[in-house]
Structure 1
Amino acid sequence: MRTMQVREAKASLSALVEAAANGEPTTITKHGKPTAMVVPIEQGRKLYPQGSQKDFVDFLLQYPGGIELERNQSPSREVEF
């Protein structure tokens, strides 16, 4: 696996993409610490399956303690038409 700094990665993005297409992941570092990784699409799909994206409401409803919603049904202001 290859490692490079952000500055170097920006300058050689096409090479990073080509390496990933050939199955070679690359770690990108910032100030010497690993911060990102460019991986082949197959590996990325294993980590983040396409069908797993849910909307924000579903995300909130999965909260372990549950969420009780109370809505104020009264209008926030009186409007005359």
Structure 2
Amino acid sequence: MKEIQLKDAKATLSAVVDQAVQGNPTIITRHGRKEAVVLSFSEYEKLKQVPSFGRLLASYPGDEDDIPLRGNKPSRIIDL
């Protein structure tokens, strides 16, 4: 992924957007720190649809009986 400074991105915004539409996102940096990413709207839409881990767990179609109970035995020896 290409990186470009904010001042250069301002000067060449049209080209940066054209690259994003062609599937080449660009990272925008400010004072050497990564601040933003320019990507195509279609890529943004794909990323927006990815559910969070919590939503994936909440949507688990199984029953409570499908998940084995956790044992009381410690899984490892702990030195105190």
Q: Please state which band the TM-score falls in when normalised by the shorter chain.
A: 0.5 to 0.7
Q: Per-residue deviation at 1:46?
A: 2.0
In 1, the alpha carbon distance for the partners of 2:45 and 2:26 equals 16
In 1, the alpha carbon distance for the partners of 2:11 and 2:46 equals 28
In 2, the alpha carbon distance for the partners of 1:19 and 1:31 equals 23
Amino acid in structure 2 at the alignment position of 1:19 = Q
2:40 is equivalent to residue 21 of structure 1: no
2:12 is equivalent to residue 12 of structure 1: yes
TM-score for the superposition, normalised by structure 2: 0.57
In structure 2, the gaps of 5 or more residues are 50-80
Q: Per-residue deviation at 1:48?
A: 2.9
In 2, the alpha carbon distance for the partners of 1:47 and 1:23 equals 14
Name which of structure 1's ranges 10-19 and 37-46 shifts more when overlaid on structure 2.
Answer: 37-46
Partner SS state of residue 15, structure 2: helix
In structure 1, the gaps of 5 or more residues are 50-81
Q: Structure 1 residue runs of 4+, over 4 Å off?
A: none
Q: Per-residue deviation at 1:42?
A: 1.7
Amino acid in structure 2 at the alignment position of 1:9 = A
TM-score for the superposition, normalised by structure 1: 0.56
Q: Which residue in the other structure is 1:35 paired with?
A: 35
User: What root-mean-square deviation, in Å, do the aligned CA atoms of Structure 1 and Structure 2 show?
Assistant: 1.1
Partner SS state of residue 4, structure 1: strand
Q: Per-residue deviation at 1:40?
A: 1.7
